[in-house]
Structure 1
Amino acid sequence: MDDATARRKADHLRVALDEDVGHIGITTGLERLRLNARALPGRALDEVSTAVTAFGRELAAPLLVSCMTGGTSEAGRVNVALATAAQRHHVAVGLGSGRILLEGGDAGSFAVREVAPDVPLLANLGAVQLAEVGVDGCVELVDRTGADVLVLHLNPVQEAVQPGGDTDFGGVAERIAEVVAGVGVPVVAKEVGFGLAPADVAELLAAGVAGIDVAGAGGTNWATVEGHRDDRAGRVASAFAGWGWSTVESLRAAVAARTAGRPLTVIASGGLADGVDAVKCLALGADLAGFGRRLLPAAAEGPEPAAEALGVLVDQLRIATWAVGTESVTELHPSVLREVE
């Protein structure tokens, strides 16, 4: 195992918890959307269904605890807290990059299947690392984590800012297609917080991915995170404070690319603030809404605070679905939204 990788993971967790690492000059776009509030929702709140099916499993709500951390002892405690919360509320949960596990690092920080046996578990690896680990490494990662899904994340700007980052993105789409064909579980492609261009979505669909997590700009800026770790990286990162495609732009691109004959799970993430934002994304066509750093402070305190924070999001989502006059999250539609200046 590379000690530098372990230190970097510990730094990422510390910076994400303690520093201001949001985008500057670009927002999610969700603030320009309003839900059409109804004073006569037409039914009792407890009649509203938030249940969905994702990755072959029934979920109590269309939420994903997004891939965040791993590889250090503190990350292990955070992952257990997040996974425990996900199991409590029966929603999907993702792990941080498993590269360090494949390098012989702290496998314990990824061992959460025991506390989350009944929900979709998403393993995670940087797509640029496929040149090193190949399909076999992906199979190993899925097997060792007990994951139902493999997430391949795309982070070119983060890698370019990070000292010693991997910046050879040649052939990445082709390698993703190889993994899709050989890993044996659904593959989701995601950005890490700069969003996906329509051209990216088209290439990923051509590669055969089962899902797209748009991870739009407006939330955590991973170039800024790297900038907090190194002075020169910080100077480089400053030019990318407003980089990327907003969450709404990326989500609309992914939804538009989905066709009736090509099943595709679309995950909306990137700076979602609450359950109302989640409902806006579901109304735009997302299948799941992902929350990352929003849950991190509570998870750092332990399983109970994490479960409470996630429960608040679930309650917000249910109330907003009801208060626009909709019976189920599966019936949410753009007609419940309006754009404002």
Structure 2
Amino acid sequence: MKAKKERIFYYDALRAFAIIAVIICHVDHFFGPLTSTTQVVAQMAFHDIGRIGVPIFLMISGALLLNREYPDLGQFLKKRFARIIYPFIFWIILILGQLYYYGYNTGFMWKVFIGEPSITWYFWVLIGIYLFLPVLNSFVKEYGEKGLEYFLAIWFIIMILKTFDSYPLWSYFDLSYFAGYVGYPVLGYYLANKKFKMSDAKVCLLGFVTLLVSFSVFVYLNYQSSNMISLIYQNVPIVFMGTGLFLFVQYLDKLNRFDSIKNNFIGKIILSLSLYSYGMYFSHVLVVKFLSYHNPQTHMMFPVMFVVIIFLSWLMPYVLSKIPYIKIFSGA
């Protein structure tokens, strides 16, 4: 009998935070009317917290899937694609059905399917990353830490160029193999395995400070309507936000700061959010769209609406995962 693989708690904690962050990005319209600068900044800061969700998801994928033995390429692709394609098909049918019910035209629904005005773009990003992952995996196994640093150095330069809207510098200077979202899985694996020459407490503090400073910069640039952050997931502040949060949570775990909650009610909530996060990524679209027609338009009700959205978004894939023959579609 194959032994059950032990879960790594800080991955679950990061994944739980990431799905809440993604939902945050899509619920700020429940704030109600913004009538002061303070309210505008508060709403913007709350929204910008959510931008860290997608990078964290991708970083966890890299940490878990890189530098592994994949003797059968076909089986690897089949397993990875089955985990994301079946739930996508199920949830996209429900999402498009809901839009049809509310009277949206087929042109808009097609754009939702391909991810232009909706969160389904993340599915297509995952498809591209999974196709390229075996190549990255061989690279990591062959060149190790030095190869990772080489890749990340070029990727970070590209993020700088994209931040200032200067990529490509000229048409024949092609760095596209290092560009885009593919750097986040590499960064996640690198941070998960890097041995720092400082104490765990100092790395934890460094992660927190990095997160705080980069988040402040991101909110400031967003408030100033700077075109420096037009690519919301491919810019320097977001890279540092992801790095800071990943290190902070990882080293909190190393310092045993989570031991008191791992086996209690809070720990169970974190684990459950982590387990159903992919299904929640899709189900929250249905919940948010439905509740948007019942928006109380008041700041006082926003916390209640937010909790209700998270709960219902979790409940849907949870219930589906308990139904025989349906679990494969739940995203659990």
Give TM-score scaled by structure 1 length: 0.32
Greater length-normalized contact order (CA 8 Å, ≥ 6 residues apart): 2
Say which one has the larger Rg. Answer: 2
- Structure having the higher helix fraction is 2
Structure number with the higher strand fraction is 1
